[in-house]
Amino acid sequence: MTRHNWLPPIHLHPVFWGFLLLAILTGMLMEVLLLFVIVLLHELGHFLAARHFRWRIRRIMLWVFGGVMETDEHGNRRGLEEAIVILAGPSVHLVLYGVIYGLTATSVPEAVLETALMYNTNILLFNLLPIWPLDGGKLIGLILSLQLPYRKAHTLLILTSWVIGAAALLYVCMAMPFTLSTVSLLCFLMWENRLEWKRRYYVFLRFLLQRATYGPIGGISTPIFATSKTALLDVLSQYRRNRRHMIVVKEKNAVLDEQQCSDMYFKRKQVRCTVGDILRQNRQ
């Protein structure tokens, strides 16, 4: 798809074309197109907010029932900034309520407006579920990462999403009329969380690498207490977003800057060293 300066690259997942063909064959084309437009506007809401804060945006990937804006920002933006980007998507649905209401005075068929209203509400409420990678889950992840070390927060987010997702799937299967689309979406979310669990160490390293490259954002300084025998990876695992760290080694009456630890891990490739090893190299 052609890229314009005011639009990100937009890619359509192969699943979309399958649903589009099925919609044509079953006479559901209008419903699928309405759903697609709402999802596209939702993702463009995220995009406009991210563009305002000069995020590095790779692309928008769209399915039929949802989409995702892929960026090169990995947990190192300010908390308020990220919250605005997350909430910009759901905020679009509030605007759409006004648009749909305004169209009631036009010649647009009532059935179309009722369908648009239903889809707009369903997508809004579904996206606010506290399950990663939905907006509700991302908001929970942001809150956790502001209170806990990034690695621990991300792990806790995936575990929480699994529990909530499993509970939601059980409720839908046992207490509600069976709906294939809802069950499929919940199963898809469970699968995505499984994949995220498998790549959690990669997500953690990506956070560290971006932090080491561009530096931590935020003026709050939080000390990390360690001993000379503390493994470097254990120190890095205590890094928190929007915080600057000094590593305090009381027994040696020494202080390390976090950049020294990051450089030891990424530039010198001393992934198995200890805090004591870093202190000894600094004396040389």
Residue 174 confidence (pLDDT) = 86
Q: How far is CA 140 from the centre of its chain?
A: 10
Residue 1 confidence (pLDDT) = 44
Q: Where are the alpha helices (DSSP H) in 135-274?
A: 135-147, 150-175, 180-198, 200-214, 232-236, 258-266
* Catalytic residue of the set 31, 43, 192, 251: 43
Residue 251 confidence (pLDDT) = 83
The CA-based angle 129-133-137, given to 5 degrees, is: 40
Contact call for residues 277 and 260 (beta carbons, < 8 A): no
43 catalytic? Reply is yes
Residue 284 confidence (pLDDT) = 64
Give the C-alpha separation, 230 to 1, whole Å. 51
Give the C-alpha separation, 45 to 76, whole Å. 21
Q: What is the mean pLDDT of each run of 10 residues along the chain (284 residues)?
A: 64 79 78 88 94 91 82 88 95 95 87 91 93 94 94 96 93 79 84 93 94 83 91 94 90 88 90 89 74
Residue 178 confidence (pLDDT) = 66
Tell me the residue ranges of DSSP E strands in 13-172.
Answer: 57-62, 67-71
Residue 5 confidence (pLDDT) = 56
